[in-house]
Amino acid sequence: MLKIYDYLEAVMEEQNNRQWYFENRLNLFASEIMETLEIEDSDEIALAINRAFRACGSLNIPFNRNFKKVYRFDGIQLMMDWKISPLACYLIIINCNPDNEQVAKAQLYFAMNQAH
């Protein structure tokens, strides 16, 4: 079995034992992830967030503990954003379009760090 699947099994076991997802802090903004990964299309990030929601649903991880809709003022207009946990950030990045070089690098980074 691939090591990433072993990692996921360990995460799920830990979830059942300690409910690790309740410890996550909502300390990141989805818009900052978009900027860092040079994602200009808001539909692309929305698709990745929706996929991350579905992943949480499939794993019985409450998305409200990892995602919170917020509104921010950028000096010109009010915009909708998401406060996200580190887990949500990971789920979003792995669900983004790998045709974007920055996204592909981030996905590879996560894969390489989990493969050991």
Task: Give the bridge partners for 88, in sequence order.
Answer: none
Query: Tokens in use for 55?
Result: 């992943």
What pLDDT score does 73 carry? 87
What pLDDT score does 8 carry? 56
Q: What is the pLDDT along the chain (116 residues), one digit of tens a residue?
A: 345 445 556 655 655 554 544 455 888 899 998 899 899 888 998 999 999 999 999 988 888 889 999 999 888 999 999 999 988 999 999 999 999 999 999 888 888 876 54
Cβ 82 vs Cβ 27: under 8 Å: no
Beta-carbon contacts of 86 under 8 Å, excluding residues fewer than 6 positions away, are 24, 25, 27, 28
Cβ 80 vs Cβ 68: under 8 Å: no
What pLDDT score does 2 carry? 45
